[in-house]
A and B are shown apart, each in its own frame.
Chain A
Amino acid sequence: MVHLKFINATLHCKAYRGSHLTICLALGGSAHKECPRDGRFMERVGSHNPLPHSHGEKLVALNLDRIRHWIGCGAHLSKPMEKLLSLSGFFPLHLVTITNAERCKEMRSKQAHELLLASQTTDTQATDTEAS
């Protein structure tokens, strides 16, 4: 069996992408080191481990000072980067996060409602059988 271990997981790098400067997530520390994602980067601006560790937490580090500076110099952001920043509170909450959260809440409430209905019907059935 072959395990792919994340030692220091994905990084946030400032890379040149089609003559634009982007702050994006790059792959590092895993078995596939030759990804084209991290061909040429200027500065490492944080780290992000997508696997939860022993206490069930996922560690994220962000160098906000440098991110501010680079956004001031006109860097673009990738979607996952925007989501991370919105979760950290630096940016307003991203819409995808909000929509996903709303959908999750709907599903959970629907499931709870269905469970409630199911339990109610079993109770009524029990009372009916008791009465008869």
Chain B
Amino acid sequence: MLRTLGGLGALPPCRAPALLLLPARGRKTRHDPPAKSKVGLVKTPPAVDPAEFFVLAERYRQYRQTVRALRLEFVSEVRKKVHEARAGVLAERRAQEDAAEHRELMAWNQAENRRLQELRLARLRLEAQEQEQRQAEERVRRAREEQARMQLKEQEVLRLQEEAKNFITRENLEARVEEALDNPKDYNWAITKEGLVVKPQHRGS
């Protein structure tokens, strides 16, 4: 039916050209036996008109020849294009340009690195100097502090030595006891918030 309507002619509007219909006709599966009415049947293919067949075969041969030639030409075209892209003149020039650009960029990068290295070295030097300075100051401060401490200690020692002169020893014991008994001290006094010492005065009787 499709042949009479033509390959691209008036197809039914609801369905697209049915290219990939699977063979799904008939009620029977392949395992069912053939019917009794078809016992002595000998299937013969339709008769072939030799002239028409020859004409058709010739036409098919020519068509296929042309199509094959076209296909080979297209294939060679594509291969040439690929070859050109990979190893043609333009590709070589582009590769050279890319290499030159790469070299330029690498040189620039190295120059940048050198510049940054110099800056870094200068910075490190400055930092080292500052560190040295800080350490010197630290040493000076520590020396000063040490000195101050030594002075304090010396003063302590001198004070102690001074006080040691007033200590009570076995030799002074008797003398000091006599002295204390002779000079009684009165601790019966108070102090105000303002710092005035208040001694009891014998008031009244």
Binds A, one of B66-74, B98-106, B179-187: B66-74
Q: Which residues of B contact A95 (CB under 8 A)?
A: 56, 59-60, 63
* CB contact between A10 and one of B16, B56, B67 (< 8 Å): that residue: B16
Question: What number of A residues sit within 8 Å (CB to CB) of B?
Answer: 34
- A4 to B14 Cα, complex, angstroms: 7
Interface of chain B, helix or strand or loop or mixed?
helix
Task: Please tell me if the beta carbons of B3 and A98 are within 8 angstroms of each other in the complex.
Answer: no
Q: How far is the CA of A90 from the CA of B68 in the complex (A)?
A: 13
Indicate if the CB atoms of B78 and A98 lie closer than 8 Å: no
| In-complex Cβ contact of B74 among A30, A51, A68 (8 A) | A68
On whether the beta carbons of A72 and B75 are closer than 8 Å, the reply is yes
- Supply 8 further A-B pairs (C-beta < 8 A) apart from A37-B20, A73-B78: A25-B16, A27-B16, A68-B74, A69-B78, A72-B74, A92-B67, A93-B63, A95-B59
Decide yes or no: A100 and B7 within 8 Å by CB, A78-B19, A80-B17, A80-B19 being known contacts. yes
Asked if A94 lies at the interface with its beta carbon under 8 angstroms from chain B, I say: yes
Evaluate contact between B7 and A97: CB separation under 8 angstroms.
yes
Residues 25-80 (chain A) with a chain B CB within 8 angstroms: 25, 27, 30, 35-37, 50-51, 68-69, 71-74, 78-80
Instruction: Report A85 CB to chain B, min CB distance, Å.
Output: 10
